[in-house]
Amino acid sequence: MKWECLSNSGSEKSHSRVRYPALFLSSHPGLILSCLKSLEPSPMAASSSRSLLQSLKNIFKKPWEITGPCASPEYRDALPLATEYRLHCPATTAAKAIIPTSDPETVYDIKYFPRDGRHNRPPVKRTVLKKADVEQLMAEKTQFQFPPVYLTRKVEEDYNACGGGYQK
């Protein structure tokens, strides 16, 4: 599209190629109108060019005549209200997190030390002495046995497994 019109000084003619006519038309409406006035080819087409010029004047307005989108009754403010902007607190979780390793069916039992004897110890034997058992032991006692047994709540025997299975 080639335009021939007067430049800003008004004395010289300039040829300009317009790549984006819509952007050019919206940014320079006065220049466009002056170019269209200078393009009138013949008196016969003068009436059609005037009607075209009048329709273009109605379509393209000066920048100060455009009121903008906020003048429309359907305009909605772009800034949201505080209740619309953040509905939930950032630290609030909508649903409880599902951890796949917390279900016993999904946990794979890994034996890291399958041949380590310290991890295959026999279970700890616990013997609970009650008062009747201690009295029976004292009645069976002879003269040359160990000193009397003190009554305690429980006695643990653990096959020399002190310190988690390590021996001195």
pLDDT for res 161: 55
The DSSP symbol for 26 reads: H
pLDDT for res 74: 79
The domain segmentation of the chain, as residue ranges, is 2-67, 117-157
At 93-145, the pLDDT tens digits run 888 877 766 677 766 666 666 666 666 677 778 778 888 888 888 788 766 66
At 42-76, the pLDDT tens digits run 665 677 878 888 888 877 877 677 677 766 777 77
10 or 49, which is more confident? Answer: 49
Instruction: Count other Cβ atoms within 10 Å, centred on residue 141.
Output: 13
Cα–Cα distance between 79 and 144 in angstroms, integer?
98
